[in-house]
Amino acid sequence: MKRVSIIGHKKSGKTRLIERLIPVLTARGKRVGTIKDAPHTLVLGDPKTDSSRHRRAGAERTLLLGEDGAILIFDRDEVIEKIVEEAFAGFDIVLVEGLKDGPFPKIEVYRRDGDPTPPLGASRTIVCLVTDEPDPPVSGVPILSPSDIEGIADLIERL
C-alpha cells in the first residue's frame, strides 16, 4: 500500500490537490482511501468539511484524526467489525492530508500569496514540492505544478 502525506500551510491547496488526485488514481484502477489530520475538531456530516469533500471526490473510507480520538467514515452498510479489522487493508493508495511530522513520504503544496512563511520542506524531508511559484523556494526535490495532476499521480505510484 502506498501512503503519502500531503502537507503545507493552511489554505495552501492540500484538500484541493487530494480532490483532484482521487479521480485520477481511481481511473487508473487504484483503490484510494484518505486520512485527514484534524487535531482541533472532529466534525461529522457537514458538507463543507474537508473530510466530506474527500468522500464526495470518491474516497471509499476516510479516517479523521483528532487530539482526543479518531473517526473512520464509511458507508453505514458496512459492518463495523470488518471496518475495524481491515481499516485500509486492500487499498492501493492512502492519501494523508497533514501529519507533517508523520512517518509517510511527504508532498508539500506551497503557495506564497504574499505570505513570507517559508515552505515546510525547508525544515522537513519532502519527496516533491507542488507549487506554481516561478522561483521555487526549495531545491533538491522534484517541483511539479498544481495543474500537473497526472505527474503528481505518477510520482505517488513510484513511491
Please name which of 29, 98, 93, 90 lies closest in space to residue 65, comparing C-alpha atoms: 98
Domain with 7, as residue range(s), is 2-158
Predicted confidence (pLDDT) per residue in 47-73, tens digit: 788 888 888 899 888 888 888 888 777
Residue 54 grid cell? 474527500
Q: Count the domains in the chain.
A: 1
Q: What is the DSSP string of 47-104?
A: TTSHHHHHHHHT-S-EEEEETTEEEEE--TTS-HHHHHHHTTTT-SEEEEE--TTSSS
Global pTM reads 0.76
Rounded Cα gap, residues 62 and 51, in angstroms:
7
Task: Indicate which CATH number applies to the domain containing 65.
Answer: 3.40.50.300
